[in-house]
Structure 1
């Protein structure tokens, strides 16, 4: 009898604590519950202790179910992944994110420490997206240190949350060069947290990262990527209510050459093509992965309750090391079917995106027009690709994408999106790419957010 009673008390205690944790994000409700606790009892004291410990715990998340139609069956796509060979339309859960944040503040309401964990669950599996800690110095309130798995501090679009972005996906270039956007590393940030600080408009991030992101199970060489960004936060342009922000970014890294065969652009039979350096001394050297970017954002308020007009632009160029058939950053050591390291290809690339966003007389209605391009090999033109002996492949083809969409913000928790991508590729001499591919995609999405 006594054991049953103790078990009942234990279950009751767990239940009450769980209720308190669930309610901790609603301050008034939590306070009402705390007022009802008898702190003279052991149970009451325990509940107060639990509340004080976990009142800084926050839960958030969103899901994005969507329907898509492609121009042809089996279309290759960066609008949520390739379509299966016999499929030209599909329902899918693009993202299902749950995030937990734990934050502590001092008596001056300045942050002391932050912990974040986010995972993505869809019909394709469950994957970790963020898992990091950050602590803040509190003497000058300008510095912080983050370590773990988090977004690379490069550019604007890479760091813009998928829940807030007005397009279904990031641009082709962002997806190829920085797949999943995250990496393992550590970062120091300069960001004054007091509004009266003379540099409160400035944010500087600088960190070291493994380099391959989340595309591999672990780091495969000892070389680290340096990533840095200097950004000006949104500031009013003098004499107007326009908000302007901008930033410059650098990624200076690379990967170890496990092969002696290094291909770079040169001349083959009088035309652009790859030339190979097969010196034995190439093994162990670092092949470059160097990106340089600049971005700018302008927001023009249209009036109370009428939304805004926005313009965004970002340009990135540099050197990328990958393989013959892709310019995607390798997640593991690239191997041939025989288990030997694949030859590496070093390309000069560039790419950009431009956004135009316009509210239609209300915060609830918005249209978006986006143009982006990615040229993985600036040293060749379309008709050069496919010429005998040049070694050029589909990975060297430039793509341009024009996207047009409409968004309806029903409320802070519900958003509807209708978006169409027109994708064009260079005409080449390569079989299968002599004309534009049929890879346009319509996306219809609902986003639920809490």
Structure 2
């Protein structure tokens, strides 16, 4: 601003440029990390599978750069927001957010968002990777909604500038392609409807905050192969091979409920409990319960009932030191368990339940630097399938630095 002399034409021109571009915000973070796992070549949800001869690695888990622009109307109210964010690492460069939002300023109640952005489902799914205490989201998030984002449009009810109870309420409802960033384009005409009703942190007592949410997902994918396997009452997957199956919509229906309770105490200390539970129906392949990235042309489809949860216990001693414990599970097939998961039942490793307990220490040097030391204990249920009769050795230690600006 020392260069801006408004008594001269050049200074006036620079001032107009400054006023124009002060609505632009550039931010980002990078997460270099070191990991070690119990077994070489182990499959992992802690940042991806390890290479066949590798049980430790350095990696750049995320390298994000985000550009925000907000346009103000003649009445000095924000009317349009634009966001572009990409992720760069040794694996390449990928778009993570690319969306625009229109803010309605008459009643200050509504907004409309379109583009590539996070699905409005659940709490953990929408907690940014730079703010989350655990290194990764839970197994269920990564399986059902890999990379969290999708192309679509959403309308939101979020009162702005209110002083009554409405300031604590937010409602989102949107329509999305379905495959998300798993695929480079949509592979069928079926769309996913996703909605979330949330209560923002509200003080229920002095220094005690409560927030909560309910989520609903109604979607599906096209059946391109005539074979569909569903679980019968005897605990066996039985095929339906009717030619009429081809082209119909196979279900993906999820329900979610979450709550967060935070108690502020001491010298900038806080204790927080978070709980989140999902359940519903997932259609995927025989070998995987992940949402498909492409249409199956030769592989059969499997429809399974699932449930899972995420639980956090976080304790901050002050603004710099925090301990965390996280427990999450995913049961991709609630109709089978233990030795009932066998080849005679046409079952696969995708039907096995996993439980993960993570413990960690987070040190915040300041707003720009964070250290995370986190250990995940991963347990799969014992089944009758070869290679899964006992627990797989896949516990993983993550040591991460996060630089942020």
Q: TM-score, normalised by structure 1?
A: 0.88
Task: Please tell me whether Structure 1 or Structure 2 has the larger radius of gyration of its CA atoms.
Answer: 1
User: Does 2:86 match 1:119?
Assistant: yes
User: Does 2:249 match 1:249?
Assistant: no
Query: Aligned to 1:137, which of 104, 126, 150?
Result: 104
Query: Aligned to 1:74, which of 41, 62, 67?
Result: 41
**Equivalent residue for 2:389?**
434
**Equivalent residue for 1:373?**
329
Once structures 1 and 2 are overlaid, which stretch shifts more, 255-264 or 207-216? 255-264
User: Does 2:266 match 1:300?
Assistant: no
Query: What is the DSSP-based 3-state SS (H/G/I as helix, E as strand, rest coil) of the residue aligned with 1:90?
Result: strand
**Partners of 1:232 and 1:248 in 2: CA distance:** 9
**Equivalent residue for 2:404?**
449
User: Does 2:314 match 1:345?
Assistant: no
Deviation at residue 40 of structure 1 after TM alignment: 2.1
Residues 51-450 of structure 1: matches in 2 within 5 Å? 51-106=18-73, 110-237=77-204, 239-267=205-233, 271-305=234-268, 307-336=269-298, 342-360=299-317, 362-388=318-344, 390-450=345-405
> For each residue in 1:335-365, what CA deviation from the matched residue of structure 2 results, as whole angstroms up to 9, or x when unmatched?
33xxxxx2111100000011000012x2211
Q: Which has the higher helix share?
A: 1
Query: What is the DSSP-based 3-state SS (H/G/I as helix, E as strand, rest coil) of the residue aligned with 1:290?
Result: strand
**Partners of 2:308 and 2:372 in 1: CA distance:** 25
Retained in 1: the 8 A contact 2:321–2:362? yes
Q: Which has the higher strand share?
A: 2
What is the RMSD computed on CA atoms of the aligned residues? 1.4
Retained in 2: the 8 A contact 1:232–1:247? yes
Deviation at residue 260 of structure 1 after TM alignment: 1.6
Deviation at residue 405 of structure 1 after TM alignment: 0.2
Deviation at residue 49 of structure 1 after TM alignment: 3.8
Retained in 1: the 8 A contact 2:224–2:297? no
Retained in 1: the 8 A contact 2:183–2:294? yes
Query: What is the DSSP-based 3-state SS (H/G/I as helix, E as strand, rest coil) of the residue aligned with 2:42?
Result: coil
Deviation at residue 106 of structure 1 after TM alignment: 4.2
**Partners of 1:302 and 1:107 in 2: CA distance:** 44
Query: What is the DSSP-based 3-state SS (H/G/I as helix, E as strand, rest coil) of the residue aligned with 1:200?
Result: helix
Residue ranges of structure 1 left out of the alignment (5+ in a row): 1-30, 337-341
**Partners of 1:159 and 1:109 in 2: CA distance:** 29
Retained in 1: the 8 A contact 2:38–2:396? yes
Equivalent pairs, count: 405
Retained in 2: the 8 A contact 1:39–1:48? no
**Partners of 2:8 and 2:45 in 1: CA distance:** 57
**Equivalent residue for 1:33?**
3
Retained in 2: the 8 A contact 1:323–1:344? yes
Retained in 1: the 8 A contact 2:225–2:297? no
**Equivalent residue for 1:8?**
none
